[in-house]
Amino acid sequence: MKDESPYVHLNEKELLEIIDSQNLPGHIAIIMDGNGRWAQNRGLPRSLGHQAGVESLKDIIKLCCDLKIKVLTVYGFSTENWKRPPEEVNSIMKLVVDYLSNEIKELCQKGVRVNPIGGLGGLPEKVRETLSMAVRQSRDNSGLIFNVALNYGGRQELTDAVCAIASSVAAGLLNVGQINTWTVSNHLYTAGQPDPDLIIRSSGVSRISNFLLWQSAYSEICITDVLWPDFKRRHLLQALADYQQRERRYGGLKLN
């Protein structure tokens, strides 16, 4: 969905009227890109861009709950993001702690289950403690599964899956001939969840950036020029309206 989408000029009410509630994606994944550029365009520190991006995330989680989306995965911090300046990394980590500490009560009221994914052991201790708190407090919730990808990399996820499978083979728990696509999927961070039906990337960049490499094999991809702090409910509804016009064939042909 670039800005030439036929739905770009519709408001939230109009979009809600045309969206088919029976044809929504079960799993939406979002690459929340553009926080730094949003801040720089305003002469602000990049950290304030990330802070503004959190407000967009709150809007999107609320809408996913309203629409009864089953899974939302957001790309919060990649394995490559450690290359950024230490002050920016620290500000992002503090945002994770502050967001979950301040919002966990409301998330639980909405039935959201927080599920961090990625190389969690490599995160700062305070972040790990906060994630554990959020998981513990929300584990019995039965609404939206909220996957927070932190210190996440798709290649690392696949490497971890291969290592776990190889260990099972070495221990005699699994035969090589038994390994199939289900085996791999069952060893990913998202094991037991449906693959994303729709992946959204903000800021106009046209790449997947090491995000859900296995899971995205047949995902519909929506790219919008809107920077993440400006991405609100209306923009997600536009993406959903666009998604519902696509024909998903999974490598097959449409049958008349």
Domains of the chain with CATH codes: 12-153+195-243 (3.40.1180.10)
Q: What's the pLDDT at 8? A: 87
Distance of alpha carbon 200 from alpha carbon 143, whole angstroms: 21
Read off the tokens for 166: 């190889």
Q: Per residue in 103-128, pLDDT tens?
A: 999 999 999 999 999 999 999 999 99
Q: What's the pLDDT at 60? A: 98
Q: What's the pLDDT at 251? A: 72
Given a cut of 90, whether residue 223 has pLDDT beyond it is yes
Read off the tokens for 69: 């989306």
Reference 70, options 218, 196, 202; nearest CA is 196
Given a cut of 80, whether residue 256 has pLDDT beyond it is no
Would you please indicate which residues are annotated as catalytic (active-site) residues? 33, 81
Given a cut of 50, whether residue 175 has pLDDT beyond it is yes
Largest CA distance in the chain: 59
- Its sign, for the CA torsion 117, 122, 125, 127, is negative
Position 1 confidence tier, pLDDT thresholds 50, 70, 90 = very low
246: alpha, beta or left? (left if phi > 0; alpha if psi -120 to 50): beta
Say what the pTM is.
Answer: 0.95
Strands of the sheet containing 27-31, edge to edge, are: 113-117, 145-152, 71-78, 27-31, 198-201, 220-223
Q: In the chain, what percentage of residues exceed pLDDT 90?
A: 93
